[in-house]
Structure 1
Amino acid sequence: MRAVVLKDGKLSLDDIPEPVPGPGEVLVKVLACGICGSDKSCAVHGPDFNRASQAAFGVDMLDLDQPIVLGHEFVAEVLSYGPETQRTVPVGTRVVAMPILLREQQVMLGLAGTATPGGYAERMVLTEALLIPVPDGLDTETAALTEPLAVALRSLGRVDAGGEDVPLVVGCGPIGLAVITLLKARGLGPIVAADLSPERREFARRLGADIVVDPRERSPYEAWTGAAVTDDPARMAPPTAVAGQLPLRPTIGFECTGAPGVLQQLISGAPAGSRIAVAGINLGSDTIEPAQAIVKELDLRFSLYYSPQEFAQTLTMLAEGELDATALITGRTGLAGVADAFERLSDSPADAKILIDPSK
């Protein structure tokens, strides 16, 4: 079968053996797969990913000595079942699934080799127990947004977003835009969003941001504080030890760039008592001033992936129309165009999510 293979930092369209489902697994046909920013990072910064995972868990996230088939944001169709399966999902059903094979040695799909390819391939193997059928009323392209929106849902959960919270989203790339979509669905606001790119700022407006800021012209942090001002004591954030009671609603920030220095900007600009979710991936070193965060009693909470419950909840929200995220999809390509799509996503701020259709 055809697949896009990553080797030595380069993408190529190759023929690879069709994967074979093991016990408790199914063979599926990939219908659509999104290109994620982390896919681009793996292609360019694979050794940096491994340094981070080695430091955290003592293992390499990527086996850079073998070809890798990327792709973890997929919708697929069930083709056949392997041994020891329940077969409760009929052949021909469209499904999504967390990108994990629940084997004795767990496999992270989209980060593994050609024997267990990700969604940049015509077919792949999934764990039966993780399959979630796509409701009939939900189109395939929108269902392909389940995974990236689940990442955003996780970041909201990490800062307990809700109630009177006033959010700031720094960085309006795919992660930031997904966060804005979830914030809007939750009815939180006013939503303040900041990005250097006028195209990204326009995306943020379309997806629900109420106040959109060009950081070169206006401080996002002043806009955030201004949006949170209230004279109603019942709506104010709890007091902190040093700052005391401020005339502000609770404030939550989302660092969605991964750019060095931005987290410290958030620490410096955030109102006292803010909760900050760090969703952007910085694979290098960074410098922060902990004393500022301590004096302000800030919460810094880092976010990655999602729980099975958050993944399923995201699909339900899409199916029931609670999330309107179709504006995230800005392009489509077949397998032969994936390398060009990577370049396009690197150079064009007018693109957010490009979907791969392996049948083309």
Structure 2
Amino acid sequence: MRVERQRLMRAVVMQDGRLRVEEIAEPVPGSGEVLVEVLACGICGSDKSCLVHGDGFNRAALGAFGTPMLDLSKPIVFGHEFVAEIVSYGPDTERKLPPGTRVVSMPILMREQPVLLGFGGTDTPGAYAQRMVLSEALLIPVPDQMSTDVAALTEPLAVALRSLNRAETAVGDVPLVLGCGPIGLAVIVLLKARGVGPIVAADLSPERRAFALKLGADVAVDPTVDSPYQAWMQAAATDDPALMSPPTAVAGRLPLRPTVGFECTGAPGLLQQMISGAPPGSRIAVAGINFGSDTVEPAQAIVKELDLRFCLYYSPEEFARTLELLASGDIDPTPLITGRVGLDDVADAFERLDTSPTDAKILIDASL
């Protein structure tokens, strides 16, 4: 009897707070699943956080859902921002897309116990690997005219789109984006695409502020020199009652257009700073993750009637809509991409992203 030899592949494995390249078993697609070759994968800030603060992710998940997010006792293969190419189909699949088709997908395996790809073990690896398995039902083909690099930005831009939608951002609003890392920059790209502005951005780094202006911000503030909140209110000022934000109970009607803030840093104290600085009636979307405890003054938020809306992931519709926006060519997110590395250089890329303000999104190409 002939026994099939298990195929191996290269992957970046995280364990005990370290990244290393190993050969692991190539995953086998189950019912309704597809084997794909990874073409490109972005390094996400949450990957960096998991490397250092995996226990923080688990505390948050345990508090919210009663179960940890990560099994830190076993190796983990990151990678949830990806574009891939269909290799073969598993059982019980419809096979509507031919092998060789480029696809994106929400990073979830639709099993009886769903799997968050990029946060699981070597049996369900994320895209820091040569190959992975995806659920056929979630595959979206990448249009021929779209570059592979741009397609790889679908997931992080979907996170940004979720933040815009959670804050009900619309034309006529004036936004402030605190933090011009990858998510803050992605928020700026989509605000510009939606016609929202003027956009005020704030970051300590001059390189990050330059990124923000390049991607669509109208004003970029150094918070050590000027107040982002004063710049925000100046940008929102209007003497046209038709454009003014609705009145709040205590402050009444102010000569300001509707204001929406995006906290994209997760830095301790920033949420309370935004509560203190935001005009009454503002909506605040919280997209940055703080794994520690923090202090806010609810009375300030109550007196101002602020809306705080915490944001995570996206819906299937938002993910698909993001790919449509990218395919339309109406937005150009390519300045976000500042590097490309092979699997052997992923650990070095993590260090770069921690220390280099000129890097935003580094893509992994397992073929390098």
TM-score range, shorter chain: over 0.9
Q: Which residue of 2 aligns with 1:210?
A: 218
Question: What displacement does 1:323 show?
Answer: 1.9
Q: Which residue of 2 aligns with 1:35?
A: 43
Superposed CA offset, 1:211-241 (max 9, x none): 1100000000000001000000000000000
Q: Which residue of 2 aligns with 1:112?
A: 120
SS of the aligned residue for 2:242 comes to: helix
Superposed CA offset, 1:138-183 (max 9, x none): 0000000000000000000001000310000000000100000000
Q: Which residue of 1 aligns with 2:358?
A: 350
Matches within 5 A, 1:320-331: 320-331=328-339
Q: Which residue of 1 aligns with 2:24?
A: 16
Runs of 4+ in structure 1 off by over 6 angstroms are none
Q: Which residue of 2 aligns with 1:123?
A: 131
Q: Which residue of 1 aligns with 2:12?
A: 4
Question: What displacement does 1:195 show?
Answer: 0.2
Q: Would you say 1:190 and 2:198 are equivalent positions?
A: yes
Matches within 5 A, 1:264-343: 264-343=272-351
Query: Structure 2 counterpart of 1:285, which letter?
Result: S
Q: Which residue of 2 aligns with 1:163?
A: 171
SS of the aligned residue for 1:189 comes to: coil
Query: Structure 2 counterpart of 1:104, which letter?
Result: E
SS of the aligned residue for 2:74 comes to: coil
Question: What displacement does 1:322 show?
Answer: 2.1
SS of the aligned residue for 2:290 comes to: coil
User: TM-score, normalised to structure 2's length?
Assistant: 0.98
2:179, 2:264 within 8 Å by CA — same for their partners in 1? yes
Give, in whole Å, the separation in 2 of the partners of 1:159 and 1:38. 22
Q: Which residue of 1 aligns with 2:185?
A: 177
Q: Which residue of 1 aligns with 2:4?
A: none
Q: Would you say 1:64 and 2:68 are equivalent positions?
A: no
Give, in whole Å, the separation in 2 of the partners of 1:131 and 1:221. 42
Give, in whole Å, the separation in 1 of the partners of 2:160 and 2:110. 24
Q: Which residue of 2 aligns with 1:47?
A: 55
SS of the aligned residue for 1:64 comes to: coil
Query: Structure 2 counterpart of 1:311, which letter?
Result: F
Give, in whole Å, the separation in 2 of the partners of 1:123 and 1:348. 29
SS of the aligned residue for 2:303 comes to: helix
Superposed CA offset, 1:238-295 (max 9, x none): 0000000100000000000000000000000000000000000101110000000000
2:171, 2:197 within 8 Å by CA — same for their partners in 1? no
Aligned residues: 360
Give, in whole Å, the separation in 1 of the partners of 2:107 and 2:257. 38
SS of the aligned residue for 2:363 comes to: strand
Give, in whole Å, the separation in 1 of the partners of 2:210 and 2:328. 26
User: TM-score, normalised to structure 1's length?
Assistant: 1.00
2:13, 2:21 within 8 Å by CA — same for their partners in 1? yes
Give, in whole Å, the separation in 1 of the partners of 2:193 and 2:332. 8
Matches within 5 A, 1:189-268: 189-268=197-276
Superposed CA offset, 1:45-83 (max 9, x none): 001100000000001100101100000000000000000
Give structure 1 stretches of 5+ with no counterpart.
none
Give, in whole Å, the separation in 1 of the partners of 2:214 and 2:72. 39
SS of the aligned residue for 1:235 comes to: coil
Give, in whole Å, the separation in 2 of the partners of 1:77 and 1:326. 21
2:285, 2:311 within 8 Å by CA — same for their partners in 1? yes
Give, in whole Å, the separation in 2 of the partners of 1:91 and 1:226. 54
SS of the aligned residue for 2:308 comes to: strand
Q: Would you say 1:141 and 2:149 are equivalent positions?
A: yes
Aligned-pair identity in percent equals 74
Superposed CA offset, 1:279-328 (max 9, x none): 00101110000000000000000000000000000001001112210000
Query: Structure 1 counterpart of 2:131, which letter?
Result: R
Superposed CA offset, 1:330-353 (max 9, x none): 000000000000000000011000
Give structure 2 stretches of 5+ with no counterpart.
1-8
Specify which of 92, 100, 106 is matched with residue 100 of structure 2.
92
